[in-house]
Structure 1
């Protein structure tokens, strides 16, 4: 029977998720980042369906032949999970998976849905690039600090705080485990790059530049600052993006990252 685990029980699927390349899964299961876990058996799970709060999506891991998932996951989603998503104004179910062998299983589980698939790229840092340095000395790049968050001195403080709280339970949790940089212009955050998910010494990156400030190389500046600290601290940066996001791909490559692996996203709309 499909069961939702309490956070204190997430350890029950560590034997499954420790093998996952996707660090978002391990970040949730380790308790670092918010999310939920649904399993096929409450005592000895063989498969898990994991809610990644920061991504507003799921990952499915473990045994693709789990009878509980094959026969009951679609109904469980419809009765217990999808109503919660709709209350949050989430109109799509997105599920990340290893293409082989979960792709056929997902099609079978959700055969009553109009399910589609796409691919995600993951870039990581290879080697030790020596060319990462600030090119524009006029850009006001700062590290996100406790003092900054407590002072609320930035005019768009709510933007910075909301970005962090999308991925973290609190700003304190973020400051304890992650870090980030931002470009300040006229007392506003106009571009930022920070740790969205953290597992051990791997930090998944979230980066955003406000629309009116794009094409000024601000994204490259904060990404370089972030990756530079990763190099100094022995941290492994992890960059997840869609294949059609050519700007994000160029930026990842610009700071010395290269394609590591792909994974599949299956998705369907909620009526």
Structure 2
């Protein structure tokens, strides 16, 4: 049997996940969002952290409870673990339903993000485009959610996002064509979510929007964490000043209950 941990008990899992170097995990274990599941409320030996489609496992993978947790998934999941034992267990339990690919980590050092350098990237937008901080009106705009379902959905509501999150958007003819937001939040910062409409790419919109978000975070003394999903994301991160750390295995699991 598995149990969901209340917010006030999640911090006890921090040592179990400490070497995974993910601010998304912190956003859950610090009680900001997501859910945490364990085999035992008092002395957990295996645990699952979920924030949106991101799912992390730690502890002992070679138990029946670990298998139960591996089935505690939504329809579409990006599963991340950091031991070969967990990888073997995932590949065994979800054989035929997984796709393994690489994501990309960067060093989390605010000294790498020179504010003057990033402000210089805030060049004028092409004609017809406008950069705006996301307010309640833009947060309700359907084109924002069509661009990425993950811009604000980890928050309890639009008001919750406005109160606790942050984001910037580029609009063209009233439609959001590029956005950069706090996918998740933790005590000392945010995890960035960024997307550009395919028809509006290669115009510098992502660079400008990300720069606006990063400068806003730095001005408020919080860290804008970046985790790359592809080579384009890596190149943009490095352009902004982030320093690549390593690639890591990620499992896309299409789980049909």
Q: Shorter-chain TM-score category?
A: 0.7 to 0.9
Tell me how far apart the structure 1 counterparts of residues 238 and 42 of structure 2 sit (CA, whole Å): 44
Q: 1:111 aligns with which of 92, 111, 134?
A: 92
Aligned residue pairs total: 247
Task: Using structure 1 for the length normalisation, give the TM-score.
Answer: 0.77
Correspondence for 1:31? 31
How far is the alpha carbon of 1:15 from its aligned partner? 4.1
Q: Distance in 1 between matches of 2:150 and 2:133?
A: 15
Q: For residue 135 of structure 2, what is the aligned residue in structure 1?
A: 145
Q: Secondary structure at the match of 2:84?
A: helix
Instruction: Write out aligned runs for 1:124-135 (5 A).
Output: 124=108, 126-132=112-118, 133=120, 134-135=122-123
Distance, in Å, in 1 between the alignment partners of 2:177 and 2:204 is 11
What are structure 1's unaligned runs of at least 5 residues? none
Cα distance in 2 between the residues matched to 1:155 and 1:20 = 35
SS at match of 1:142: strand
What TM-score does the superposition give when structure 2 sets the normalisation length?
A: 0.81
Q: Is the 8 A contact 1:38 1:48 kept in 2?
A: yes
Q: CA deviation at 1:172?
A: 2.1
Correspondences of 1:117-266 after superposition (within 5 Å): 117-123=100-106, 124=108, 126-132=112-118, 133=120, 134-137=122-125, 138=127, 139-146=129-136, 148-149=138-139, 154=141, 156=143, 159=146, 162-242=149-229, 245-266=230-251
Pick closer, same or farther for the CA change 1:161–1:258 going to 2, 3 Å: closer
Contact 1:71 1:109 in 2 (8 A): no
- CA-based RMSD of the aligned residues comes to 2.9
CA distance in 1, matches of 2:105, 2:208: 21
Deviation at 1:20, TM superposition (A): 4.2
SS in 1 for 2:62: helix
Gapped regions of structure 2 (runs ≥ 5): none
For 1:70, what is the secondary structure of its paired residue? Answer: coil
- Structure 1 runs (4+) deviating above 6 angstroms are none
